[in-house]
């Protein structure tokens, strides 16, 4: 099955460059002219990876990340942000919005291809785990509706509910086990649960 990667950039030259860099991977490439077009794309079946520019008018890369993370079918599609911004605040904003990787523009072809291939492996691991476990109950959506979880905390929560270990979560989300445990502590506090077992009790 051919993997589908969505490229989002408001600059025609940058879109063409990203497309040319990824062509050698033999992927199905969907090219979109801006963040608003990606929001429309969410009505389609999920892609395998999104490669998105940060600085775009109206709907920027951060907004794209938040929309992807909020969508039930697209939530676990990895997002790579292309950015000319090298400052700490931009990176923090991207991570909080749910970005998985950053590539500085102008991107090197080998670097972008390596990042996309890494994110495809992350996507594969999540799909394999999700296929092996029944989905959680609707009680989960009710519980987190007003909890104020970040995009990453919601991802960790979903995998915890699937019964996955911190090692599994680290592999699926491309983070360390220590970071997984850190997010678990934060989300349990926000949900009013003392432990993973207590969380399962709340979901009954």
- Supply the DSSP string of 51-92, one letter for each residue: EEES--SSS-HHHHHHHHHHSTTTTTS-EEEEES--SHHHHH
Band (16; pLDDT cuts 50, 70, 90): very high
Q: Distance between CA atoms of 199 and 161, rounded to whole angstroms?
A: 8
The structure tokens 């490229």 sit at 7
For the entire predicted model, the pTM comes to 0.73
The pLDDT of residue 204:
63
Lowest mean pLDDT among 88-92, 103-107, 177-181, 200-204: 200-204
Enumerate domains of the chain plus CATH numbers: 4-120 (3.40.50.2300), 139-202 (1.10.10.10)
If one compares 113 and 166, the residue with the highest pLDDT of the two is 113
Whether residue 106 is preceded by a cis peptide bond, meaning omega within 30 degrees of 0, is yes
The pLDDT of residue 156:
87
HSE of 163, CA atoms in CB hemisphere, 13 A: 8
Band (138; pLDDT cuts 50, 70, 90): low
Q: Distance between CA atoms of 164 and 158, rounded to whole angstroms?
A: 9
Band (77; pLDDT cuts 50, 70, 90): very high
Q: Distance between CA atoms of 74 and 42, rounded to whole angstroms?
A: 7
Q: Is the pLDDT of residue 195 over 90?
A: no
């Amino acid at each position: 099955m051919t993997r589908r990667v969505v490229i989002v950039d408001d600059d025609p030259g940058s879109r063409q460059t990203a497309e040319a860099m990824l062509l050698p991977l033999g992927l199905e490439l969907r090219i979109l002219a801006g963040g608003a077009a990606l929001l429309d794309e969410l009505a389609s079946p999920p892609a395998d990876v999104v490669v998105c520019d940060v600085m775009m008018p109206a709907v920027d890369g951060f907004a794209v990340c938040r929309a992807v993370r909020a969508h039930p079918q697209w939530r676990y599609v990895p997002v790579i942000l292309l950015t000319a911004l090298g400052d700490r605040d931009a990176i923090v904003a991207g991570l909080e919005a749910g970005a998985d990787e950053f590539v500085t523009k102008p991107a090197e072809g080998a670097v972008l291809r390596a990042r996309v291939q890494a994110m495809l492996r992350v996507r594969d691991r999540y799909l394999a785990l999700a296929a092996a476990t029944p989905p959680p109950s609707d009680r989960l959506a009710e519980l987190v509706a007003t909890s104020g979880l970040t995009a990453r905390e919601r991802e960790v929560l979903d995998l915890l509910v699937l019964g996955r270990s911190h090692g599994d979560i680290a592999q699926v989300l491309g983070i360390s086990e220590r970071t997984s445990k850190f997010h678990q502590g934060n989300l349990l506090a926000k949900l009013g649960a003392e432990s993973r077992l207590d969380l399962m009790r709340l979901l009954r």
